[in-house]
Structure 1
Amino acid sequence: MRVVSGVYEGPSAHGILRVAASLKDVWVIFRASAHEEYFQVLWGPWARFEDRAPVSLSPAGGGTEDLEKDILEAVRRHPEVGAVIVARSDSALLSGEGVPEVRLPAREDRPRRLFRCPWQGPGIGENEAADLMLAELVREYAVPQEKTPEPSVNLFGAPVLDPRAEAEMDELQRLLEDLGVEVNARVPLGASLEDLRNMPRAWANVVLYREVSESATRFLKERFGMPRITTPMIGSAGTGAALRAVGEMCSIDGERVRKLVFRELARTAKLPWYTRLLSPRVLRGKKVAIFGDFTYAVGLGYALSREVGAEIAWSGTYLSHLEHDFAFHAGTFTEKTFVAEDPGEVALRVERTRPDLLIATHFEREAAGHAGASFLPLCPPAAVYPFVRLPLMGYRGAALLADAVDGALRRARRSSPETGPPEEPVWTGEALAALEEIPAFLRGRARRLAEKRARELGERRITREILEDSRF
């Protein structure tokens, strides 16, 4: 999630702050200019806990001596914390200021640790930094442990500020407990440093959100031999596949897994029922476009293409550091995959494709409206939405997805050319290229003015000349 308008990801400090604020026993020193107050968003209307976030500001520009004083002062004020993390804003990074080695006073039970995040850099985005931060903490704290007597797993989900973070965890924990598998730890949301230490007790790791847990779970696999399940648990088929994998890794009787899956399909999930009932007449010839992060974009693509039978025109992500992985997975349900970090570029793709249904981030709402596409903002970031208790993962998530797709495609059918408004003007390639030259924050207005001018002239095609004429 980014607070800055018009961009999909925040800088690296935002990812560090989100992971740290998700954990217990941790304090963050945010080294930044006085006006860079992103950390305040971690409490107030977005706060998950009643207490303020474990973050304090260390004003940049005062020298490393001041930073050392701020670190020691945080420990003095909060003697309960076991780890201190220093996160630097982009302006602090660009100033070349380093983080000093500081010897922290020890607690009675164990030493405190200082995390200086030397890997931070202006080119690292929010999600990649969150992944690196969690991996560094896991490497530091996880130690060899005896496995739990009964089957157990660690759940790796999204950090604080993701609107569905807790709801997704709750749904998957419900299913695992019905399967006879305990949850050893939920990471990072609500986890303590002791939970990180005890993670190797689990029999396997279930990765709900790869964006934040890819490096940590790979380390646990290499260091402790812990297998991981990475199948996106979105839709009935994806959820069932992941549960069967958990069953195999935890030596759960296959018949027990099948009974759980069939019971959930009968009582909870609506997606298979929806597909059998409505797919032939609602989805025939419908194009769907998807844009978002990694997990939700890939999981939704799998579910809609394989379970609902929709044609996925294209699927994109803004996570450039996961480009190859994304292309591999999304390439199984669409021939067109791409990475884009500019909402304007995504809007142009929507304009050229004119899908019947667009599933994307909240930034694509206006583009969907101009293209006449039904719109579902199901992919992070979701910067303006309150926390929700409805998961998109698991069988309950499959029911929510079925309802959402049904409503969206019914709206699309009602606004089809046979029953809906007159056909909108079509943009020529030259006009779209000219539109791309306009700054992103002005493109929406320029698009509306050009379409209005074309209708005034009775033209069904928007040319470069009409676009330029509409701006005067």
Structure 2
Amino acid sequence: MKLAYWMYAGPAHIGTLRVASSFKNVHGIMHAPIGDDYFNVMRSMLERERNFTPVTTSVVDRHVLSRGSQEKVVDNITRKDSEEHPDLIVLTPTCTSSILQEDLENFVERASQTTVSDVILADVNHYRVNELQAADRTLEQIIQFYIAKARKNGDLVTAKTPEPSVNILGPTTLGFHNQHDVRELRKLMADLGITINAVIPDGASVNDIKTLPQAWFNLVPYREIGPLAARYLEQEFNQPFVDITPMGVVETARCIRQIQTLLNQQGATVNYEDFIQSQTLHVSQAAWFSRSIDCQNLTGKKAVVFGDNTHAAAITKILSREMGIHVVWAGTYCKYDGDWFREQVQDFCDEVIITDDHGAIGDAIARVEPAAIFGTQMERHVGKRLDTPCGVIAAPIHIQNFPIGYKPFLGYEGSNQIVDLIYNSFTLGMEDHLLEIFGGHDTKEVIHKGISADSDLNWTSDGLAELNKIPGFVRGKVKRNTEKFARERNISHINVEVLYAAKEAVGA
């Protein structure tokens, strides 16, 4: 694993624990040294949970290193079984403890002989996959386990429900606006006359898994978590799935039309065209806003987009197709699924960037000087350094991404929220001039370092003072042009004379 002070996607055990702790009455046991056990604090703080996070650390310490872990791990599993009485206990190592190369599968088998709870070992390669891949695989593994158990016990439910029904696969704890998205999806399905059979894993019991095959189809709203489970259910039960993310007016309509097709293929007679028309014109304000003078003021403005696959792809399409904003480049940190992302956005932006190097992303933003950034919390910090506004549209999650108010990203209400986010992220109208009048720009110290840490240029006090006099809305561009001028002439200190010389050179 690469060690970094900023990672867009966490290590594999975080993904496993996200899925395990999303189910009701499931307990996670993390085989890890002290220092890897931050998941409990993170989840309790960000989700504002009233109850303790159901995760226990089986600590790898000097005693474990000298004697081995088997006795301690088995004891921890059996103790939690007797204390908490969970339906399932999920054991996961971390990258650190995986170095020991212990036979954890054997530990699970030994513990299972005496526990009432089911016990499984998370079947992920902690060296090769990240948080999102591990979460996707763990969800599939748990579903496979309980489908096999139900088959063995003879209580697997395979007969379809009398009326159209759906399983929503993928929403988890610590997801980006996932709880609000699920509320919006429940409302959308109710409006379409479709019963929710199960939402897996968020808030579900593992005992609900045996009823998954009775739904008419599966809905996978997120590209990162859920596709593996949907493909497994399709293979096992010929259960179709929809994996179009209903984000934005166009994609929400496309998702609903795909649902309509699947239901009619199974004998239903539904037509959602009137519903789509009504929602687009009267419930979602996005379509109306795209024709308003406010949105026309954004036409042609430059923006960049970066995030996970689901949100970055959807926001790129909304910006370009629905709001007429010029997306200079769009990027994702989901390198393992980069081909899908490239296919989705290549017609809606000038350039596609696939990397998990936050430094490279910072430099790419500085290079194109966008009017606004739509990215993660890391890009928000980059935007602050460049004096460029940023709307946060994707994980890694932050306390700001768990709003008290209702802010879904999916469905027709989600389209309203996204339009507000996009519009308010740009610096608009007289805003820059008002900032100058009230001293907004001049109260900030000018950043004279590059985004990357390899800048060797220094600004003198008189150079900085002169730079501060330049209006904020062009100051960043002047600064970057001056630094480019200085580098080309091997000038290491930028004073007021260099600033004026650079200005003359570019004809500004």
Partner of 2:37: 37
Taking structure 1 as the reference length, the TM-score comes to 0.86
2:363 is the counterpart of 1:348:
yes
Question: Does residue 68 in structure 1 map to residue 83 in structure 2?
Answer: no
Q: Is the 8 A contact 2:383 2:389 kept in 1?
A: yes
User: Which of 364, 389, 394 is equivalent to 1:374?
Assistant: 389
1:18-417 counterparts in 2 under 5 A?
A: 18-41=18-41, 44-47=44-47, 49-61=49-61, 62=64, 63=68, 64-79=70-85, 81-99=86-104, 100=107, 101-105=109-113, 112-142=117-147, 143=156, 145-251=158-264, 253-255=269-271, 257-278=272-293, 281-385=296-400, 387-388=402-403, 389-409=406-426, 411=428, 414-415=431-432
Cα RMSD (Å): 3.1
Map 1:440-451 → 2, pairs under 5 A:
none
Distance 1:133 1:288 in 2: 36
> What is the DSSP-based 3-state SS (H/G/I as helix, E as strand, rest coil) of the residue aligned with 1:461?
helix
Change (3 A) 1:386 1:403: closer
Distance 2:238 2:132 in 1: 25
In structure 2, the CA distance between the partners of 1:220 and 1:279, relative to structure 1 (3 Å rule), is farther
Residues matched between the structures, number: 448
| CA distance in 1: counterparts of 2:277 and 2:355, whole angstroms | 39
CA–CA distance in structure 1, aligned partners of residues 270 and 462 of structure 2: 64
Tell me, what secondary structure is at the counterpart of 1:211?
A: coil
Range moving further from structure 2, 152-161 or 384-393: 384-393
Deviation at 1:96? Answer: 2.2
Is the 2:281–2:287 contact (alpha carbons within 8 Å) kept by the matching residues of 1?
Answer: no
Contact 1:373 1:412 in 2 (8 A): no
Deviations 1:41-83 (A, max 9, x none): 255333465321111110114122211111111112122x222
Question: Aligned partner of 1:274: which letter?
Answer: F
- Evaluate the alpha carbon distance shift between residue 131 and residue 453 of structure 1 in structure 2; reply closer, same or farther with a 3 A threshold: farther
Taking a change above 3 Å as real, the CA distance of residues 245 and 452 of structure 1, as seen in their structure-2 partners, is: farther
Greater alpha carbon shift after TM alignment, 461-470 vs 188-197: 461-470
Q: Following the alignment from structure 2 to structure 1, what is the Cα–Cα distance between the partners of residues 40 and 120? A: 21
Question: Taking every aligned residue pair, what percent have the same amino acid on both sides?
Answer: 24
Aligned to 2:500: none
Aligned to 2:196, the other structure's residue is in SS state strand
| Larger mean Cα displacement after TM superposition, 323-332 or 461-470 | 461-470
Offset at residue 284 of structure 1 (A): 2.8
Q: Which has the higher contact order (CA 8 A, sep 6+)?
A: 1
Counterpart position of 2:8 = 8
**Deviations 1:250-276 (Å, cap 9, x if unpaired)?**
235454x12222222233211111111
Which sections of structure 1, spanning at least 5 residues, go unmatched? Answer: none
Cα distance, 1:233 vs structure 2: 1.0
2:80 maps to a residue whose letter is: A
The answer on whether the counterparts of 2:249 and 2:280 sit within 8 Å (CA) in structure 1 is yes
Paired with 1:145 and 1:127, the residues of 2 have a C-alpha distance of 30
**Structure 2: distance between partners of 1:362 and 1:203:** 38
> Which one is further off, 69-78 or 382-391?
382-391
Q: CA deviation at 1:97?
A: 2.8
Amino acid at match of 1:278: I
**One-letter code aligned to 2:110:** V
Aligned counterparts of 1:246 and 1:149: Cα–Cα separation in 2: 17
Helix, strand or coil at the partner of 1:337: strand
Q: Please report how far the alpha carbon of residue 450 of structure 1 lies from its aligned counterpart in structure 2 after TM superposition.
A: 5.3
